[in-house]
């Protein structure tokens, strides 16, 4: 039994000065709120805001307070029940029937630790080590194995960067590194270049000396978007229509010095992906990490056999679960790039989540994020 547990709860609470007083009841319990769902379905139908209390940390428990948590497409799919990684449905939040908390990514501050916790102390910051923890909530009880500590030198980086580092930048990082060896000066091509992963790939590419062809959907403010992505380090930004144009492709071939891209990053599917694959050199690799057009990847036998194209998929959750040590190194490397100002976050839209924020406001943010091909990334930012 932890030493703190032997004290009266009020005394224990007094000894945990980092728990803001307003969340700590007279008996040392933390008042928490969480978005939950009991059944899979459309977020607007199934999400509910649930209030519960968390007892003081005991044994190996770590009480965490969320600082920021983004709304990713995978989170929505998970609520809809169409995502292969399922959240845990549990009654530990005091719901009448088992409920799950959505959200896979987030940054937290440790506000209390049980006596057996060795690696964390109040005030530490961490991101989630694995997916499916449930991050759309103000507080939670975690264990050591759920958290990846942010090193002291990066603790003061803004919470948005920390909250959004695990999924998109890590996906871009692994896809550029793990499928085919690229040397400085080599080209890669990607569609959905305006996405979070796309922007991360542009920047990591620039930092590593790679050159990128970036395909985006046409839109009214296309020139501004092209300039914006070039500002991040994109070498070429083209619309899908431009890429499908024979003359344009010829010009592009000259522009790249006849050195075709050997890696293609795909998050669209269907015709857009066929066009992307057409650009790959012999022996090239296409890596799929999304399907915004909700269409499959189609490969002609001739691309596979004679052009020796290889097709793969990348799922950051699987990778992270298999490579916890490499994930730690990679995250710290990206934190370093952020600190040096070399790596920028995607444009986001904040929804401030305070103690009195209404369910409707939170659900409105979720709805906005569900709009494919548009809008900024939605992020919950928690304020006391």
Query: Applying CB under 8 A, does 318 fall inside the site for its own copies?
Result: yes
| Torsion of Cα atoms, 249 then 219 then 226 then 315, to 10° | -80
Instruction: State how far the Cα of 325 lies from the Cα of 229, in Å rounded to an integer.
Output: 32
318 vs 354 by CB, closer to its own copies? 318
Q: Which of 42, 305, 352, 372 binds its own copies (CB under 8 A)?
A: 305
Residue at token pair 């990778």: 319
CB-CB contact of 249 with 279 (8 Å): yes
User: Catalytic site residue 83?
Assistant: yes
2 vs 195 by CB, closer to its own copies? 195
Q: Which of 157, 299, 337, 364 binds its own copies (CB under 8 A)?
A: 299
- SS3 for 15? coil
Task: Give the nearest distance from C-beta 377 to its own copies in angstroms.
Answer: 20
Task: Give the nearest distance from C-beta 304 to its own copies in angstroms.
Answer: 3
Q: Which of 97, 220, 301, 341 binds its own copies (CB under 8 A)?
A: 301
Query: Applying CB under 8 A, does 300 fall inside the site for its own copies?
Result: yes
CB-CB contact of 255 with 236 (8 Å): yes
CB-CB contact of 269 with 299 (8 Å): no
Instruction: State how far the Cα of 359 lies from the Cα of 366, in Å rounded to an integer.
Output: 11
Query: Applying CB under 8 A, does 315 fall inside the site for its own copies?
Result: yes
Count, residues near its own copies per rule CB under 8 A: 27
- Which helix H or strand E contains 250, and what residues bound it? helix 246-255
For residues 65 to 94, the per-residue mask of contacts with its own copies, x marking binding by CB under 8 A and - elsewhere, is: -------------------x----------
- SS3 for 62? strand
Candidate list 83, 154, 173, 289, residue with the active-site label? 83
86 vs 121 by CB, closer to its own copies? 86
Q: Which tokens go with 192? A: 């959905």
2 vs 320 by CB, closer to its own copies? 320
Query: Applying CB under 8 A, does 326 fall inside the site for its own copies?
Result: no
Q: How many CA atoms lie within 13 A of 366 on its CB side?
A: 26
User: Applying CB under 8 A, which residues contact its own copies?
Assistant: 84, 269, 288-291, 296-315, 318
């Amino acid at each position: 039994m932890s030493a703190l547990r032997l004290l009266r709860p009020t005394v224990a609470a007094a000894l945990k000065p980092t728990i803001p007083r307003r969340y700590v009841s007279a008996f040392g319990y933390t008042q928490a709120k969480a978005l939950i769902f009991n059944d899979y379905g459309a977020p607007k139908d199934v999400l509910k805001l649930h209030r519960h209390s968390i007892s003081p940390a005991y044994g190996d428990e770590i009480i965490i307070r969320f600082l920021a948590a983004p709304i990713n497409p995978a989170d929505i799919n998970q609520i809809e029940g169409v995502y292969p990684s399922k959240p845990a449905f549990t009654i530990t939040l005091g719901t009448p029937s088992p409920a799950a908390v959505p959200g896979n990514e987030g940054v937290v501050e440790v506000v209390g630790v049980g006596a057996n916790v060795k690696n964390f102390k109040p005030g530490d910051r961490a991101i989630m080590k694995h997916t499916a923890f449930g991050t759309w909530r103000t507080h939670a009880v975690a264990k050591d194995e759920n958290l990846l500590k942010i090193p002291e030198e990066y603790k003061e980086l803004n919470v948005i960067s920390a909250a959004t580092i695990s999924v998109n930048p890590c996906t871009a990082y692994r896809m550029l590194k793990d499928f085919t060896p690229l040397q400085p000066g080599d080209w890669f091509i990607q569609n959905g270049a305006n996405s979070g992963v796309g922007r991360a790939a542009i920047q990591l590419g620039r930092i590593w000396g790679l050159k990128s062809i970036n395909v985006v959907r046409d839109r009214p403010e296309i020139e501004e978007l092209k300039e914006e992505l070039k500002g991040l380090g994109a070498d070429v930004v083209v619309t899908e229509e431009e890429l499908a144009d024979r003359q344009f492709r010829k010009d592009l071939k000259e522009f790249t010095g006849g050195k075709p891209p050997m890696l293609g990053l795909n998050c669209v599917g269907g015709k857009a992906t066929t066009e992307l694959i057409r650009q790959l050199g012999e022996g090239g690799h296409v890596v799929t990490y999304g399907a915004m057009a909700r269409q499959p990847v189609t490969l002609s036998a001739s691309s596979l056999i004679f052009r020796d194209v290889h097709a793969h998929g990348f799922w950051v959750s699987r990778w992270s679960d298999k490579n916890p040590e490499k994930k730690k190194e990679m995250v710290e490397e990206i934190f370093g790039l952020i600190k040096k100002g070399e790596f920028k976050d995607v444009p986001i839209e904040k929804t401030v989540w305070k103690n009195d924020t209404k369910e409707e406001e939170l659900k409105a943010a979720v709805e906005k994020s569900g709009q494919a091909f548009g809008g900024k990334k939605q992020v919950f930012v928690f304020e006391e």
